[in-house]
Structure 1
Amino acid sequence: MEKLFEISKTQKKLLSIYLRGDSKFWLGYILNYTSETIDLQHFSTLGKSDGIIVIKTYNIERVEFTNDYTRSFDHLIQNSQLLETQTVQELESSLINEWPMNVLKQFLEKEKLISLEVNDTLETGFVRETGDDCVIIHSIGTLGEDNGLACYRIADINSIQVDTQRQRKAELLYRWRKEKNKLRQN
């Protein structure tokens, strides 16, 4: 592992560090290390510096690097300032009886992510079509993955979230992935 730690330290390569007996992990790059401990510059889920974590090397179960997750976060960290500015400041007024449709129609075919709270889950995507009783969204994952089209019943929508940092993160990574795929195809 020392070789990985050295690469992470000198090249600021991101690592995901999993500890024994824990399903969670720390994401960051190595600041310093010894045979007994590492000092990890930790990053939040929004790509911001989030303190230094000192970890006993004995407790490390595995280290992941240069995978989809760390590459996505590398891009996010480099562009995290783009998540700070809320671009939607106000919505057109929505009538009580028609609130879901009025809000959804404002984002129909616009390239702006929204999230629907449906049955205690948050579904994020671009609004592609609205009907009398359903909405079709182009679903996007938290790391910008294209999850295809999904249809939701209007009656099941509890809330609609617009322009949150979580959505701006997903949108940034979605556009990055889309651009990467274009370059691969050329």
Structure 2
Amino acid sequence: MILFLKKLFQTKKKSPQMSTSILQSILQKSKDNKEIIAIWQYNSDKGSLVGYITEINEEYIGFRHYTRFGKPDGIIFIKVENIKNVDFNDDYIKVMECLIQYSDIIDKPSNFAIHLNQSENWQFSAILQLYNNQDQMASFEINGNEFFTGFVKDLSDQDFILNCVAKNGEDLGTSLFKIEDVTEVRVNDIDDRRRLLLYNWRKATL
């Protein structure tokens, strides 16, 4: 009976050795492999921080942070207990890996420029030039309200078709807009260059 109790006690004593948390394993893997992860913190309304772990101990991690354009943005030290959850291997992480790898492309605007005439029909002139350069992405403000971004695919005297692209490069299909509703046109801004990079990545044309 004593021998049985001794063996039972030894068996129970071994069980805490399986206690390494999944969080600790993910953080350690990020450090070892420079694997990109996204960290969400308690009491923060700034969204997630994206990057990889540079240092780790029981209380703190050092975190190599990247901006939404894939640019290195210093080291942030974060309390482990402040980590609410961690994202990894999802679509946004893959987006950020692409941006980090090709961030220099975002720095280089295309040579394309819109040349407007003095007529009141400036919208048609701008859209026509984009229609003749269908690989040039642009953003259109409609009725002074919402912006839509993409490539001009068709054009008439009254309206045009835009192949719309979401902020992380997703192809949203085509939409029709009236030319007279266009209140602003933007080309070559940094957000659109980011969007174009991701669109080409998704289309595997980088």
TM-score normalised to structure 1 length: 0.89
Q: 1:3 aligns with which of 12, 25, 32?
A: 25
Q: Which residue of 2 aligns with 1:20?
A: 42
Would you say the 8 A contact 1:94–1:103 is kept in 2?
no
Structure with the larger strand share: 1
Matched, 1:111 2:107: no
1:136–1:54 CA distance, 2 compared to 1 (3 A): same
SS at 1:107's partner residue?
Answer: helix
The Cα shift of 1:89 comes to: 5.2
Give unpaired runs (5+ residues) of structure 1.
181-186
Distance 1:145 1:103 in 2: 24
**Which of the numbers 146, 149, 166 marks the counterpart of 1:141?**
166
- Quote how far apart the aligned CAs of 1:120 are: 2.7
Which entry has the higher C-alpha Rg, 1 or 2?
2
Amino acid in the other structure paired with 2:108: T
Which residue identity does 1:83 align to in structure 2? I
Of structures 1 and 2, the one with the larger relative CO (CA 8 A, separation 6+) is 1
Provide closer, same or farther for how the CA distance between residues 89 and 150 of structure 1 changes in structure 2, counting only shifts above 3 A.
closer
SS at 2:99 equivalent: helix
Which of residues 145, 154, 170 is equivalent to 2:195? 170
- 1:175 offset after TM fit, Å? 1.1
Quote the Cα distance in structure 1 between the aligned partners of 2:119 and 2:201: 37
RMSD of aligned residue pairs (Cα, Å): 1.7
Contact 1:95 1:102 in 2 (8 A): no
SS in 2 for 1:167: helix
* Partner of residue 184, structure 1: none
Q: How many equivalent pairs are there?
A: 180
1:14-93 correspondence to structure 2 within 5 Å: 14-23=36-45, 24-88=47-111, 90-93=113-116
Report if the CA contact (8 A) 1:107-1:126 is conserved. Answer: yes
Report the identity percentage. 29
Q: Deviations over 1:141-171 (max 9, x none)?
A: 1111011111222232221111112111111
